[in-house]
Amino acid sequence: MPEISRRLALIGAAAWAVAPSGVRAQTEWPSRPIRIIVAYPAGGVSDVVARALGEALAQQLGQPVVVENRAGAGGSIGLDAVAKAAPDGYTLGFSAISPLVLSPHLGKLPFDPGRDLTPVASVMYSPVLLLGTQALKARDFRGLIADARAHPGQLRWATAGLASLGHIMLEHIMQGTGVQITHIPYKGGGQQLNDALSGQFEVLSTNAGPAVMQHIQAGKLHPLAVGAPRRLPSLPQLPTLAELRLPAANLTSVFGIFAPGATPPSVVQSLNVEVNRALAMAQIKARLQVADNVPLGGTPAEFRRLIEAESSSNARIIRAAHISLN
């Protein structure tokens, strides 16, 4: 080895030996357990997927991955905990992007989505089903619109809440078809589904999931359309809203992994690589596809662009529909 190269190598080794522990900890990431905060209750599809991802990441990284549920406020409570955590790559969040693309336009977030959170990787999209209850006479989407046009404001559409993804879908549909449908906002999906089964309203929008699919198969709910990039394998005859010439209403719930805003880019990139590796595993794909969820993946930049585009679209419809939480 030339003398100058040997000296540089020795200098580098000496600098590493006396480097502050924080510098070494960052370089050696991960050197201790990682926590994933799930922004929804235990037992749901998002929780199941997050735990499956946690198991895969633990194997890949050689460190334990602990999953913690912090539900509430449509996912905002969990993401707030992530936003306020140390930006060292050891606290992550798993959530739909809804709190980041809807809530900021309604002025109710305790953190700044663009500054306090870093998108790591998109994980999956969850189709949004538009379903009729036993109170609805129509059996397809065109029949629903014809009924709504003949009886302005008399049909009732239940969603998971004011300014939820289902509400935005409804506003897009009304804007695109010129009909009037009454919005019935719930505080979550459990009571909404119970009331749907007893015919308390005519229509609901909800994420696809095993329980919902069971009620469809039993004939208690009948599918009218779906928000998804393509038709669902489990319901191949069901058209997407894009096929029904309502592309703006063709919305899905996109879920992903987030880190605190100041997390080092090198750690974010390493996490992104590992999440994409996990999403390529057969067992992860199987967990997702049970409820017609579709794995996504991609780069942090792609995930950020997706969030920004949906946020801009939502801002326009929220202004046009005069949606307010007050």
Whether residue 236 sits in one domain with residue 133: yes
Q: What is the CATH number of the domain that holds 237?
A: 3.40.190.10
- Across all residues in the chain, what is the average pLDDT? 88
In a domain, 39, yes or no: yes
Q: What is the rounded distance in angstroms from the CA atom of residue 284 to the CA atom of residue 295?
A: 9
Q: pTM (2 decimals)?
A: 0.79
pLDDT reported for residue 154: 97
Residue 18 has pLDDT above 50, yes or no: no
In a domain, 12, yes or no: no
Whether residue 239 sits in one domain with residue 133: yes
In a domain, 210, yes or no: yes
Confidence class of residue 325 from pLDDT cuts 50, 70 and 90? low
pLDDT reported for residue 303: 97
In a domain, 5, yes or no: no
Confidence class of residue 27 from pLDDT cuts 50, 70 and 90? low
Whether residue 228 sits in one domain with residue 299: no
Whether residue 273 sits in one domain with residue 245: no
In a domain, 23, yes or no: no
Whether residue 229 sits in one domain with residue 270: no
6-10, 219-223, 238-242: segment of lowest average pLDDT: 6-10
Whether residue 305 sits in one domain with residue 273: yes
Determine the structural domain holding residue 213 and report its residue range: 127-249
Whether residue 153 sits in one domain with residue 109: no
Whether residue 209 sits in one domain with residue 197: yes
Whether residue 37 sits in one domain with residue 150: no
Residue 173: partners with Cβ closer than 8 Å, 6 or more residues away? 179, 181, 241, 246, 249
The stretch 35-48 carries a mean pLDDT of 87
In a domain, 54, yes or no: yes
The stretch 217-238 carries a mean pLDDT of 94
The stretch 202-223 carries a mean pLDDT of 91
Whether residue 139 sits in one domain with residue 121: no
Residue 105: partners with Cβ closer than 8 Å, 6 or more residues away? 163, 311, 314, 315, 318, 319
Who has greater pLDDT, 102 or 273?
273
In a domain, 13, yes or no: no
28-42, 125-139, 178-192: segment of lowest average pLDDT: 178-192
Burial tier of 261 (Cβ tally within 10 Å: 0-12, 13-18, 19+): middle
